[in-house]
């Protein structure tokens, strides 16, 4: 279909919703393709990949509810001005510092395809995925041991991977040669390719149906709509003034810390500014988060846009915040070549921090989530094959103004490895896998519980990397709720050989038959625990989420002799003696300023 641009109408209200639906459907298709074809368990089972669609200027129109990535199209323009791009091109990078933090650790590979209709650039389709191994000092590429980014695998600056549809296989051979698992790397690359090509095709079809001018106008409106609502809701959440919140990361994997993250939100006639410059200096270890300003923008707008599926999380929504201030040399804006591999910890602190800011402003936001836990195990199986087990383990999320925190959860769209899958694929056996009692912060709305996972090694020897944050400074509670429980890692629990591991460390050698027990942290509680419905407490006790001791001590709920019903009179008496709340936040005691 040929469309006369001059004659094409701009997008009407109905077409707008049709385009929105079609963009979402395209995103679904692209995701389905990656999920079905990718090879690393990281991508296919843990689902650590995302796809998004952008307008011709590189502004995100449809993103994912996962504020981890920044502004991924513009870094290409420095090397390949848009005017020089062509249909059939494909671009690729993982260069964190070369993309101003649009990707924030090197294992994430970004693939981008420009979309043309009648020779006109109208959009970009993008996919990114976390590749299991791209070289570096340890299998899995990221490790608490890394002290510069060169140790975290090969760095690919923005490059043109295809022209006229012909892929530059030479580039790929270099890349695959740098991986310890080149076959998996190759399979994952092919899956990501196929996905962006599919996205490209879908946008072209949409533009052919409605005309490129209508699509471009729809992009603009979808963006403006999110911006308008986010701006309005932000103004309703924060009265003019200055709000501060800070929290800390235990340590950097190199024995340094804690590292304080500080954020200040100021709202006045000149606009809304998020300022992180008072955060601590960058760390020698890999917890640095090269923060692209789009990330905190997305974190805040995700909170603001909750509840309406017609609002897309996109660049427009992020514009509710006028400015993001970062200080070079800080843990949120480190200098090259500081290591970045474990920035997931910092990211989870920031995400909860955005909620902390809302609470500090007197708003109703959630208590802190625990940062999800990940372990890497590497060794040689008895058949002589090297193995790399990367096991993501769920934690508890923060209690909310109207519901409990999520129990045993990892993150958006990332699944666990079933015990039977682990035993089938790796020289390991699960001894137990369950809810960790009493790890959720007590509250009117309880923090989610973390999990217990015990892994027995069935190979001669393996080296484990462990990433657990919040052992020292567990997730905070709010509005009277208590902090969540801290996580820990211990080998051979309950035996004379028991030894506790540094919760954020690499190089932990485990021998055949030894058992690694991981206990992950819980989310903070929301509201005074004495206000929790006693029947909910009873249900928690029966289900193994809360112990009877904790029910009495923290919730003031007394059960009858056989523990199967609430003793109403005794509970009433116990609850008469109600602890007072001495501050907005709670971490081993109430306080208004956390750090």
Partner 1 sequence: MSDMRYAVAIDTGGTFTDVTLFDRDDGRMWTAKTPSTPENPSTGFMNGIATALEQAALSPVDLAQVFHGTTVATNLILEGKGATVGLLTTAGFKHVLAIGRQDIPRRANLFAWIKPERPVPPERILEIPERLDIDGNTLVELDETAVRAAARRFRERGVNAVAICFLNSFVDPCHEARAGEIVREEHPDALVSLSSDVLRVFREYERSIATVLNVYVMPAVSHYVGQLAERLESEGANAPLLIMKSNGGVVGAGEVERVPAHTALSGPAAGVVGARFVGAAAGYQDVIGIDIGGTSADICLIKNGQYELTNNGRVGDWPLSFPMLDINTVGTGGGSIAGISDIGALTVGPRSAGATPGPACYGRGGEEPTVTDAHLTLGHLPPYLLGGTMTLDVDAARNAIERKVAQPLGLSVEEAARGILSIGDNDMVGAIRVISVERGHDPRDFALIPFGGAGPLHGGSLAKLLGAKTVIIPPSPGVLSAMGLLVSQFRADYARTCLEGPPDYDHARMAQTFDELETEATAWFDRERVPAAARQLTRSASLRYRHQGFELTLPWEGESVTPETTQATLQAFHALHERLYTFAQHDTPVEIVTLQVAAEGSLPQPRPTEIPAGGSLEAAQIDRLPIHFAEGTQTVPVYDRTKLSAGVTFSGPALVVQLDSTSLIHPEQRATCDRFGNLILETD
**End-to-end Cα separation, the chain, in angstroms:** 61
Does 297 participate in binding partner 1 (rule CB under 8 A)? no
Does 21 participate in binding partner 1 (rule CB under 8 A)? yes
Among positions 5, 174, 412, 568, the unique one binding partner 1 when judged by CB under 8 A = 412
Environment class of 325 (CB within 10 Å of its CB; exposed 0-12, middle 13-18, buried 19+): middle
Does 302 participate in binding partner 1 (rule CB under 8 A)? yes
* The two structure tokens encoding residue 92: 């690729």
Please name the helix (run of DSSP H) or strand (run of DSSP E) that holds residue 325, with its range, or none: strand 323-325
Does 22 participate in binding partner 1 (rule CB under 8 A)? yes
- Tell me which stretch binds partner 1 (CB under 8 A): 52-60, 153-161, 391-399, 575-583: 391-399
Does 45 participate in binding partner 1 (rule CB under 8 A)? yes
Among positions 435, 455, 468, 566, the unique one binding partner 1 when judged by CB under 8 A = 435
| CA-based nearest residue to 414, from 139, 29, 70, 68 | 68
Does 36 participate in binding partner 1 (rule CB under 8 A)? yes
Nearer to partner 1, 562 or 592 (CB): 562
Task: Please count the residues of this chain forming the interface with partner 1, following the rule CB under 8 A.
Answer: 89
Pairing of strands 49-55, 60-62: antiparallel
Does 13 participate in binding partner 1 (rule CB under 8 A)? yes
Nearer to partner 1, 276 or 397 (CB): 397
| CA-based nearest residue to 153, from 129, 183, 176 | 176
3-class SS string, 192-239: HHHHHHHHHHHHHHHHHHHCHHHHHHHHHHHHHHHHHHHHHHHHHHCC
Nearer to partner 1, 264 or 454 (CB): 454
Which 459-498 positions form the footprint of partner 1 (CB under 8 A)? none
Does 187 participate in binding partner 1 (rule CB under 8 A)? yes
Does 418 participate in binding partner 1 (rule CB under 8 A)? yes
Does 245 participate in binding partner 1 (rule CB under 8 A)? no
Q: Give yes or no for a cis peptide into 337 (omega within 30° of 0).
A: yes
- Tell me which stretch binds partner 1 (CB under 8 A): 35-43, 77-85, 145-153, 320-328: 35-43
Among positions 160, 220, 429, 574, the unique one binding partner 1 when judged by CB under 8 A = 429
Contacts of 438 (CB under 8 A, 6+ apart): 449, 485, 545, 546, 547, 550
* The two structure tokens encoding residue 360: 């500090």
Contacts of 232 (CB under 8 A, 6+ apart): none
Nearer to partner 1, 338 or 455 (CB): 455
Does 457 participate in binding partner 1 (rule CB under 8 A)? no
Site string for partner 1, 196-235 (x = CB under 8 A): -xx--------------------------x--xx------
Which 65-84 positions form the footprint of partner 1 (CB under 8 A)? 65
- Tell me which stretch binds partner 1 (CB under 8 A): 185-193, 244-252, 286-294, 477-485: 185-193
| CA-based nearest residue to 455, from 487, 502, 417 | 417
Which 532-561 positions form the footprint of partner 1 (CB under 8 A)? 539, 542-545
Does 16 participate in binding partner 1 (rule CB under 8 A)? yes
Does 355 participate in binding partner 1 (rule CB under 8 A)? yes
Please name the helix (run of DSSP H) or strand (run of DSSP E) that holds residue 57, with its range, or none: none
* Minimum distance of partner 1 from residue 388's CB (angstroms): 11
Q: CA–CA separation, 34 vs 27, rounded Å?
A: 11
Q: CA–CA separation, 229 vs 220, rounded Å?
A: 14
Nearer to partner 1, 60 or 100 (CB): 60
- Tell me which stretch binds partner 1 (CB under 8 A): 77-85, 151-159, 190-198, 383-391: 190-198
Among positions 79, 163, 190, 220, the unique one binding partner 1 when judged by CB under 8 A = 190
Query: What are the beta bridge partners of residue 272?
Result: 267
* Minimum distance of partner 1 from residue 195's CB (angstroms): 10
Residue whose token pair is 């340590």 = 251
Does 128 participate in binding partner 1 (rule CB under 8 A)? no
Does 370 participate in binding partner 1 (rule CB under 8 A)? no
Among positions 148, 415, 552, 567, the unique one binding partner 1 when judged by CB under 8 A = 415
| CA-based nearest residue to 53, from 109, 113, 104, 12 | 113
Contact predicate 396/405, CB 8 Å: yes
CA distances from 495 to 300, 490, 491, 499 (A): 47, 11, 9, 9
* The two structure tokens encoding residue 274: 């998020």
Does 394 participate in binding partner 1 (rule CB under 8 A)? yes
Does 593 participate in binding partner 1 (rule CB under 8 A)? no
| CA-based nearest residue to 581, from 541, 526, 543 | 526
Nearer to partner 1, 91 or 181 (CB): 181
């Amino acid at each position: 279909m040929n469309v006369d641009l001059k004659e094409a109408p701009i997008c009407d209200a109905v077409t707008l919703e049709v385009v929105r639906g079609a963009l979402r459907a395209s995103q679904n298709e692209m995701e389905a393709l990656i999920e079905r074809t990718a090879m690393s368990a990281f991508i296919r089972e843990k689902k650590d990949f995302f796809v998004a669609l952008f307008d011709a200027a590189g502004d995100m129109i449809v993103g994912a509810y996962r504020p981890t990535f920044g502004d991924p199209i513009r870094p290409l323009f420095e090397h390949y001005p848009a005017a020089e791009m062509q249909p059939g091109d494909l671009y690729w990078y993982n260069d964190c510092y070369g993309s101003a933090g649009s990707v924030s650790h090197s294992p994430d590979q970004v693939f981008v395809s420009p979309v043309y209709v009648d020779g006109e650039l109208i959009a970009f389709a993008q996919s990114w995925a976390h590749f299991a191994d791209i070289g570096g000092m340890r299998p899995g590429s990221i490790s608490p041991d890394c002290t510069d980014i060169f140790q975290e695998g090969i760095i690919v600056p923005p490059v043109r991977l295809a022209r006229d549809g012909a892929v530059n296989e030479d580039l790929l051979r270099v890349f695959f040669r740098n991986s310890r698992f080149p076959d998996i790397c190759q399979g994952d690359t092919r899956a990501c390719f196929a996905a962006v090509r599919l996205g490209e095709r879908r946008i072209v079809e949409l533009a052919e149906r409605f005309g490129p001018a209508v699509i471009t106008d729809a992009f603009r409106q979808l963006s403006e709509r999110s911006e308008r609502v986010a701006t309005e809701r932000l103004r309703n959440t924060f009265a003019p003034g200055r709000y501060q919140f800070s929290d800390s990361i235990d340590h950097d994997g190199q024995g340094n810390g804690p590292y304080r993250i500080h954020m200040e939100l100021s709202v006045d006639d000149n606009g809304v500014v998020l300022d992180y410059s008072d955060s601590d200096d960058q760390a020698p270890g890999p917890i640095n988060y090269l923060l692209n300003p789009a990330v905190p923008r997305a974190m805040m707008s995700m909170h603001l846009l909750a509840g309406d599926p017609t609002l897309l999380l996109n660049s427009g929504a992020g514009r509710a915040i006028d400015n993001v201030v970062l200080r070079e040399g800080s843990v949120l804006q480190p200098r090259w070549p500081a290591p970045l591999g474990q920035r997931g910890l910092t990211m989870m602190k920031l995400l909860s921090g955005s909620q902390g800011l809302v609470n500090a402003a007197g708003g109703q936001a959630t208590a802190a989530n625990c940062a999800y836990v990940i372990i890497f195990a590497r060794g040689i199986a008895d058949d002589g094959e090297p193995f790399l087990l990367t096991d993501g383990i769920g934690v508890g999320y923060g209690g909310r103004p109207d519901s409990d925190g999520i129990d045993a959860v990892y993150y958006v769209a990332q699944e666990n490895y079933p015990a039977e899958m682990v035993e089938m694929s790796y020289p390991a056996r699960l001894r137990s896998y369950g809810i960790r009692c009493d790890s959720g912060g007590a509250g009117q709305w309880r923090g989610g519980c973390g999990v217990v996972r015990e892994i027995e090694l069935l190979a001669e020897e393996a080296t484990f990397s462990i990433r657990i944050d919040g052992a020292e400074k567990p997730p905070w509670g709010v509005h009277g709720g208590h902090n969540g429980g801290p996580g820990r890692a211990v080998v051979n629990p309950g035996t004379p050989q028991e030894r506790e591991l540094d919760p954020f460390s690499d190089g932990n050698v485990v021998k055949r038959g030894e058992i690694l027990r991981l206990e992950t942290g819980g989310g903070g509680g929301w509201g005074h625990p004495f206000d929790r419905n006693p029947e909910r407490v009873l249900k928690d006790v029966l289900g193994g989420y809360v112990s009877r001791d904790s029910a009495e001590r923290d919730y003031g709920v007394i059960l009858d002799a056989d523990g199967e019903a609430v003793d109403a009179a005794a509970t009433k008496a116990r609850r008469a003696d109600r602890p007072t709340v001495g501050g907005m936040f709670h971490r081993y005691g109430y306080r208004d300023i956390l750090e």
